[in-house]
Amino acid sequence: MGEVKVSVERSVATMTVSRPEKLNAFDIDMLKALAGACDEVEANASVRVAILTGEGKAFSAGGDVKAWGGMAANEFGHAWVRFGHRVFERLATLRMPVIAALNGHALGGGLELAAAADIRIAESQIRIGLPETSLGMVPGWSGTQRLTKRFGAQIVRRMVLGGEMFSAEEARGHGLVDAVVETGTVLAAARDYAARIAARGPAALEIAKLMIASANGEDNGSAVEALGSILVAKTGDLKEGVAAFAGKRAAEFKGEW
């Protein structure tokens, strides 16, 4: 049975997908474990950056075919695809920047997992791709949606329609990963980059991440509402409104920011 391990050192959390005997492929329990890990990291006020990686020789082989292969169509669409989509969205919308440390191949749902991160660093030996159509299915955890927004439609067409697989260097050339490092060094590289991020203002990082997501058409408006709520929460008008409610009186707003 797999799990997602969480460790925190100073201001950096590391989430490790741990099902190495299955190349870190996801089943329902693993999806639940990832959701729980996201909640744990989000709730830790000391965490400014998160690193996501895999245990063993793979980052993630995606969805475990044995986990979904026998599902009825309705169950597959709801209990598998929609649930996995919600979990990956949870990862993508963590308040802090997320670095995917690709220690091994990232295929199908594994690439969709990596795409939910803000920065991707890959070891030189890895390969990435979206092979779902070779099984008669389509990417279901935002492979045609988030990946198209972040990397462009044409490169997604080549992976999904043409079944092209890319080396780490090819992926870097297409913007699918941000840096390529030697085998066995990706966690060290990710930690170095995490330290670089953690040295910056945490509030500014969180707000900038929301702004970028909004500009990229992600989050369906939740980024805009979160930004507005953060701004309003600091105003004198809100304090007056809450005080008036508690005192059962009419609020006297002064337009105080």
Each residue's pLDDT tens digit, 137-195: 889 889 999 999 999 999 999 999 999 999 999 999 999 999 999 999 999 999 999 99
Give the model's pLDDT for residue 185. Answer: 98
Condensed to tens digits (0 to 9), the pLDDT of residues 16-38 reads 999 999 999 998 999 999 999 99
Residue 169 annotated in active site: no
pLDDT at residue 44 tops 70: yes
Choice among 55, 89, 123, 132 that is catalytic: 132
What number of CA atoms fall less than 13 Å from residue 159's CA on the CB side?
31
User: Which is higher by pLDDT, 200 or 78?
Assistant: 200
Mean pLDDT of 110-130: 97
Give the model's pLDDT for residue 220. Answer: 64
User: Which is higher by pLDDT, 75 or 105?
Assistant: 105
Choice among 55, 89, 112, 206 that is catalytic: 112
Identify the weakest region by mean pLDDT among 101-105, 120-124, 136-140, 227-231: 227-231
State the pLDDT confidence band at 67, using cuts at 50, 70 and 90.
confident
Rounded Cα distance, 67 and 69, in Å: 6
State the pLDDT confidence band at 71, using cuts at 50, 70 and 90.
confident
Give the model's pLDDT for residue 208. Answer: 94
Q: What is the DSSP string of the chain?
A: --EEEEEEETTEEEEEEE-GGGTT-B-HHHHHHHHHHHHHHHH-TT--EEEEEESTTEEE--B-HHHHTT--HHHIIIIIIIHHHHHHHHHHT-SS-EEEEE-SEEETHHHHHHHTSSEEEEETT-EEE--GGGGT----SSTTTHHHHHH-HHHHHHHHTS---EEHHHHHHTTS-SEEE-TT-HHHHHHHHHHHHHTS-HHHHHHHHHHHHHHTT-GGGHHHHHHHHHHHHTSHHHHHHHHHHHHTS--------
Residue 206 annotated in active site: no
pLDDT at residue 83 tops 70: yes
